[in-house]
Structure 1
Amino acid sequence: MATPRTDPAKAPSAPARTAAGYHHGDLRAALLAAAELELAEKGVDGFTLRGCARRAGVSHAAPAHHFKDVRALLTALAAIGFARLSASMADCAEGIPPGGIDYIVAIGRGYVRFAVDNPHLYNLIFRSALLDCDDPVHGAAGDSAFAYPVRAVGAYRGSDDPMSDPQLAVEVVGIWSMVHGLAGLLIDGQFSKHTGKTQQQLADELAPALTRQFMEGPAKRPDPAGEPRC
């Protein structure tokens, strides 16, 4: 008896096989997206490869084809975090010419806005003990982010290499330390509970004010008595 012919258009297609099992499209991208959700929900301490695989809808063994361990996955996620930090600073500084105080203020605001908008990534990217800091992609992303305050201070002070000048290097590190500390306080809710304002509102108010004051110095208050102040 002749075997019935099946219309190819109606025949079920077999799932494509990959090294990780059945085809999942871009597995690496799916794992990174799942990893970010896992990190946002559970934090670094509760982060696991199994949890990421479960969110991505793949087997527990699948992540090993792209990330050898949880450290490798967190490192890739941290590189994404640094890239978003750079993008946030660039967005805030768009249209502002380098060389003026407004450009530095915009960089500081972009830094803090990234942190309050992405607290899970902000709390990861500087956790060096959990990351492979020798990874070239992670290293390049971190260097690119750090270059923003370096270039901003350099342009303001007329230096192509501010980190080679001890005084200017202090300014760069000072700006970075200030916005980094402010970001941490905002994420922890230290100001919102006293002001009733959102983290985003406080970031937009405090980051520019503190950055400007750091670079220009505190505003001088007139002495009512007209006498020198100690």
Structure 2
Amino acid sequence: MPSGDVEQRLITAGVELLAEAGTDALSLREIARRAGVSHGAPRRYFPTHQALLAAIARQGYRRLATVIEETIGDHAHEPRTALMMLGRRYVAFARDEPGMFALMFRHDLLRGNNIGLRQESTPLFGVLVDLLRQAHRARPTETAAALWAALHGIAQLWHWGTLQVVTGFDTPEPLLEAAVDAHLGA
């Protein structure tokens, strides 16, 4: 069996396991079992457990990038509209793929992987920076980082049910509007 096939089977098994059981279930042994390979096989393709987790997280970054690109589409020249659309999709991604969402930002699990997740996350961040530049915001990089933190917080706290309790809202829409408006200076 070609090595690329086994490597991809391990990643696919990890993505599926993550979707079913979350980050705590991502043991090398269980990923190998699901991929139909020996428990030692992952070490032949990924030098560390973190390297395999990073390869799994890379799939999430790529999916999120595709979803964001498709979502913004023709609205990329309308910063507020595009940012609202991006915020909605970000919250939906956290809701629909909570295991992947958690793994993608768990640098404690991904540390030392030497796999270059920066290449996957930087373009997503660049979308925010570009939209804020179009909106003529001073310090677009800093503002993009603050907006991302706000969107991430909304996504995570909404997923946990915290924001529903404290606000009484049945949708995160007003929170997304407030975050976008605050960072656009509206």
TM-score between the two structures when normalised by the length of structure 2: 0.84
Aligned twin of 2:158: 186
Please give the per-residue CA displacement for 1:68-115, whole angstroms capped at 9, x wherever unaligned. Answer: 221111011111111122122212211213243112222222222221
**Which secondary structure state, in structure 1, belongs to the residue aligned with residue 76 of structure 2?**
coil
**How do 1:5-44 and structure 2 match up within 5 A?**
26-44=5-23
Asked if structure 1 preserves the Cα contact closer than 8 Å seen for 2:57 and 2:100, the reply is yes
1:108 to 87, 95, 101: 87
For residue 66 of structure 1, report the CA deviation from its aligned partner: 1.4
Change in Cα spacing, 1:170 to 1:132, as seen in structure 2 (3 Å) is: closer
Asked if structure 2 preserves the Cα contact closer than 8 Å seen for 1:74 and 1:131, the reply is yes
For residue 217 of structure 1, report the CA deviation from its aligned partner: 5.3
Aligned twin of 1:128: 107
Change in Cα spacing, 1:216 to 1:172, as seen in structure 2 (3 Å) is: closer
Change in Cα spacing, 1:97 to 1:47, as seen in structure 2 (3 Å) is: closer
**Which secondary structure state, in structure 1, belongs to the residue aligned with residue 129 of structure 2?**
helix
Question: What is the root-mean-square deviation of aligned Cα atoms in Å?
Answer: 2.7
Asked if structure 2 preserves the Cα contact closer than 8 Å seen for 1:30 and 1:56, the reply is yes
Greater helix fraction, Structure 1 or Structure 2: 2
Q: Distance in 1 between matches of 2:99 and 2:34?
A: 17
Aligned twin of 2:125: 146
The structure with the largest alpha-carbon Rg is 1
Residue type of the alignment partner of 1:105: M
Report the count of equivalent residues.
Answer: 185
1:83 to 53, 62, 66: 62
**Which secondary structure state, in structure 2, belongs to the residue aligned with residue 58 of structure 1?**
coil
For residue 184 of structure 1, report the CA deviation from its aligned partner: 0.4
Change in Cα spacing, 1:76 to 1:18, as seen in structure 2 (3 Å) is: closer
User: Residue 168 in 1 paired to residue 163 in 2?
Assistant: no
Aligned twin of 2:26: 47
**Which secondary structure state, in structure 1, belongs to the residue aligned with residue 24 of structure 2?**
coil
Q: Distance in 2 between matches of 1:155 and 1:134?
A: 35
Q: Which has the higher contact order (CA 8 A, sep 6+)?
A: 2
TM-score between the two structures when normalised by the length of structure 1: 0.69
Aligned twin of 1:227: none
Runs of 5+ unmatched residues, structure 2: none
Please give the per-residue CA displacement for 1:10-64, whole angstroms capped at 9, x wherever unaligned. Answer: xxxxxxx667xxxxx8212211111112223333233200000111121112222
Runs of 5+ unmatched residues, structure 1: 1-16, 20-24, 159-164, 219-230
1:210 to 162, 166, 178: 178
For residue 149 of structure 1, report the CA deviation from its aligned partner: 0.8
Percent identity of paired positions between Structure 1 and Structure 2: 29
